[in-house]
Amino acid sequence: MNIQEKQNILDKIKEYQRIIIFRHKRPDGDAVGSTKGLREILRLTYPEKEIYLINNDFSDYVAFLGSEDEPRDDEFYKDALGIVIDTATTDRISNPQYSLCRELIKIDHHINNEPYGDLLWVEEERSSSSEMIADFYLTFSDELKINKDAATYIYTGMVTDSGRFRFRSVSGDTLRLAGMLLDMGVDLDTLHANLYMKEFHTLKFQAYVYDHLKITENGVVYLHVTREMQDMFSLTYEEASASVSYMESIKNSLIWLAFIDNEDGSTRVRLRSRFVTINSIAEKYHGGGHACASGATVYSEEEASSLIADADERLKEYKANNEGWL
Ligand code: AMP
């Protein structure tokens, strides 16, 4: 299964002296973990090659994993192989200089609406791109080298993108690959402390969220994180965005939405659901994503209200036609 795609990618990596890795804008644990993990594996395996990870924006959340490489001028990219991981569409690639690379590889687990690049390896059913990097290592473990740092980066991507191995996309393979990484010495205590300890002001914000969230007739929970709220609780954009997860376990509410005001006046929408498919709603509002985790953008109160109404209708329909939900 997909062995030929992986083999082609390894062969291409061997052909190049300079390889530059890219990921998506507003990176999450998976985007950072998968790219740093692959960079480490390739550096260990091919010390004579130049392997870089060059992007234009960073994540506070997983900053503890360490730095990436410095920006370079256009000339630097000309003879390089580019590898883009965890990024469904080219407009979401963090570093626009990716287009200057001589050849490009796409490795991703999102729906393949835009199959870009000279070589592609996309597995939509994988729980994370990091899982694919773990699988890539395992497939060629006779040739590739790995260490505890690389294992930690990749495990971080897997644990964060799978909601601590709880999401539907988690398979036996996910856990076997995570087990392989744990055996390489990942320090779970330190990793979990870095990922899940919270600032006190964040917990106060969480309390505020529970006091202010709204619920529709059919059980869609939603929250609007205004610029004022972001200032009031001194929230970073990432902290404000994380509020979507506070709403995930309310009984009877199978869809939950966080509206986070952007600096430019638009509002980011993070859509999440249990059992119910919601990416078609995100697609209607300038977005897209997975069946149960999508993103969108709205540009007015009317558009926000319309999205909420669509989600409410979707949930009503689901509840009328299905049993066994909570
Ligand atoms: P987010 O809430 O931004 O983390 O988005 C959840 C998922 O939806 C991500 O994994 C993205 O793949 C996808 N997504 C978010 N925003 C967009 C967008 N504007 N277009 C397409 N997919 C998106």
Q: Record the tokens describing residue 112, joined without a space.
A: 């393949």
- Identify whether residues 136 and 190 lie together within a single domain: yes
Enclosing domain of residue 234: 204-321
**Residue to probe by mutation, ligand 1, list 111, 266, 294, 299, most atoms within 8 Å of CB:** 294
In this predicted model, what pLDDT tens digit does every residue of 248-298 receive, in sequence order? 999 999 999 999 999 999 999 999 999 999 999 999 999 998 899 999 999
Region 164-172: what's the mean pLDDT? 95
Pick from 43, 29, 138: which is nearest to 85 by CA? 29
In this predicted model, what pLDDT tens digit does every residue of 41-98 receive, in sequence order? 999 999 999 999 999 999 888 999 999 999 999 999 999 999 999 999 999 999 999 9
Nearest CA to ligand 1 atom 19: 287
What phi, psi does 14 have (nearest 5°)? -65, -30
pLDDT of residue 326: 80
- Identify whether residues 21 and 139 lie together within a single domain: yes
- Identify whether residues 89 and 144 lie together within a single domain: yes
Longest dimension (CA), the chain: 62
First-last CA distance in the chain? 36
**Does a structural domain hold residue 257?**
yes
Q: How far apart are CA 152 and CA 34, in angstroms?
A: 10
pTM score, whole prediction: 0.83
Region 152-157: what's the mean pLDDT? 98
For residue 92, the CA-to-ligand 1 centroid distance in Å is: 10
> Do 256 and 278 meet the contact criterion of CB atoms below 8 Å apart?
no
- Identify whether residues 53 and 161 lie together within a single domain: yes
Pick from 107, 100, 67, 85: which is nearest to 23 by CA? 85
Pick from 27, 290, 293, 34: which is nearest to 156 by CA? 34
Beta bridge partners, 120, equal 106
For residue 296, the CA-to-ligand 1 centroid distance in Å is: 7
What phi, psi does 50 have (nearest 5°)? -105, 115
- Identify whether residues 275 and 183 lie together within a single domain: no
Is 157's C-beta closer than 6 angstroms to any atom of ligand 1?
A: no
In this predicted model, what pLDDT tens digit does every residue of 100-140 receive, in sequence order? 999 999 999 999 999 999 999 999 999 999 999 999 999 99
pLDDT of residue 119: 98
**Does a structural domain hold residue 250?**
yes
**Does a structural domain hold residue 101?**
yes
Q: Which residues contact residue 175 at a Cβ distance below 8 angstroms, ignoring those fewer than 6 apart?
A: 165
- Identify whether residues 172 and 120 lie together within a single domain: yes
Count structural domains, the chain: 2
- Identify whether residues 156 and 223 lie together within a single domain: no
Question: How much is the mean pLDDT over the chain?
Answer: 96
Q: How far apart are CA 230 and CA 239, in angstroms?
A: 9
Query: Domain holding 72: CATH number?
Result: 3.90.1640.10
For residue 268, the CA-to-ligand 1 centroid distance in Å is: 10
Is 287's C-beta closer than 6 angstroms to any atom of ligand 1?
A: yes
Minimum-distance ligand 1 atom for the alpha carbon of 241: 2
Is 29's C-beta closer than 6 angstroms to any atom of ligand 1?
A: no
Helices 129-139 and 148-161 cross at an angle (nearest 10°) of: 140
**Does a structural domain hold residue 264?**
yes
For residue 299, the CA-to-ligand 1 centroid distance in Å is: 17
Nearest CA to ligand 1 atom 11: 289
- Identify whether residues 173 and 33 lie together within a single domain: yes
Pick from 82, 57, 83, 84: which is nearest to 71 by CA? 57
- Identify whether residues 218 and 190 lie together within a single domain: no
For residue 179, the CA-to-ligand 1 centroid distance in Å is: 28
In this predicted model, what pLDDT tens digit does every residue of 204-223 receive, in sequence order? 999 999 999 999 999 999 99
Q: How far apart are CA 181 and CA 56, in angstroms?
A: 29
Nearest CA to ligand 1 atom 1: 295
Is 31's C-beta closer than 6 angstroms to any atom of ligand 1?
A: no
245 has a pLDDT exceeding 90: yes
**Does a structural domain hold residue 113?**
yes
- Identify whether residues 235 and 296 lie together within a single domain: yes
- Identify whether residues 41 and 155 lie together within a single domain: yes
> Do 161 and 29 meet the contact criterion of CB atoms below 8 Å apart?
yes
pLDDT tier for residue 28 given thresholds of 50, 70 and 90: very high
Pick from 274, 276, 229: which is nearest to 247 by CA? 274
Please identify, among 195, 214, 231, the residue that sits at the C-terminal boundary of a domain: 195
pLDDT of residue 46: 98
Higher-confidence residue of 201 and 32: namely: 32
Q: How far apart are CA 250 and CA 194, in angstroms?
A: 26
**Does a structural domain hold residue 243?**
yes
Query: Domain holding 300: CATH number?
Result: 3.10.310.30
- Identify whether residues 56 and 128 lie together within a single domain: yes
For residue 274, the CA-to-ligand 1 centroid distance in Å is: 16
Region 230-251: what's the mean pLDDT? 92
Q: Which residues contact residue 192 at a Cβ distance below 8 angstroms, ignoring those fewer than 6 apart?
A: none
**Does a structural domain hold residue 326?**
no
1 has a pLDDT exceeding 90: no
Query: Within its chain, how far is the Cα of 260 from the centroid?
Result: 17
